[in-house]
Amino acid sequence: MYRSMTKCLLFFFGLTLFISHVSAEESMDAIKARMDKRIPQLRELKKKEIIGENNKGFLEFLKGSKEAAEIVAAENADRAKVYAIIAKQNGSTPDKVAKQRAKKIASMAKSRDWLQNNLGKWFQK
């Protein structure tokens, strides 16, 4: 009886882990889909020099204009979620993941995009 109950508990524990893993992946897919939809709007804000990529992996307003603030806030919120998921998967911290992503974003930035260096100074690529 004890073995049977133990097997049953282990099965349910494994099933719970599997379901939570699938849910995290589905969640990541949903986040990525939202982020993909925002790319054209964010690209336009970057072209207008309204936003730039800071050294922490997030978007930041460069000037007084807060045009499309809800889009920028939604993007930053989704980035934070992605960084947290990746950090959990890799045994890291969201802050470390974000800073690594900031470096990758900077390397892939388009000409004239605004970026922030490690010292916090803004520059145009």
| Least confident stretch, 21-30, 69-78, 108-117 | 21-30
Predicted pLDDT of residue 86: 95
The count of domains in the chain is: 1
Predicted pLDDT of residue 66: 86
Mean pLDDT of 90-111: 96
Coil, helix or strand at residue 87: helix
Predicted pLDDT of residue 57: 98
In the block, which residue shows the tokens 């964010």?
42
Helix (H) or strand (E) holding 76: helix 69-90
- Residue 32 · residue 75 · CB < 8 Å: no
- Residue 76 · residue 61 · CB < 8 Å: no
CA distance 42 to 35: 10
CA distance 72 to 60: 8
CB count within 10 Å of CB 68 equals 19
pLDDT digits (tens, 9 = 90+) for 48-77: 999 999 999 999 999 878 888 999 999 999
Predicted pLDDT of residue 122: 97
CA distance 11 to 79: 34
Helix-helix angle 94-108:69-90, to 10 degrees: 120
CB count within 10 Å of CB 67 equals 13
Domain extent at residue 30: 2-124
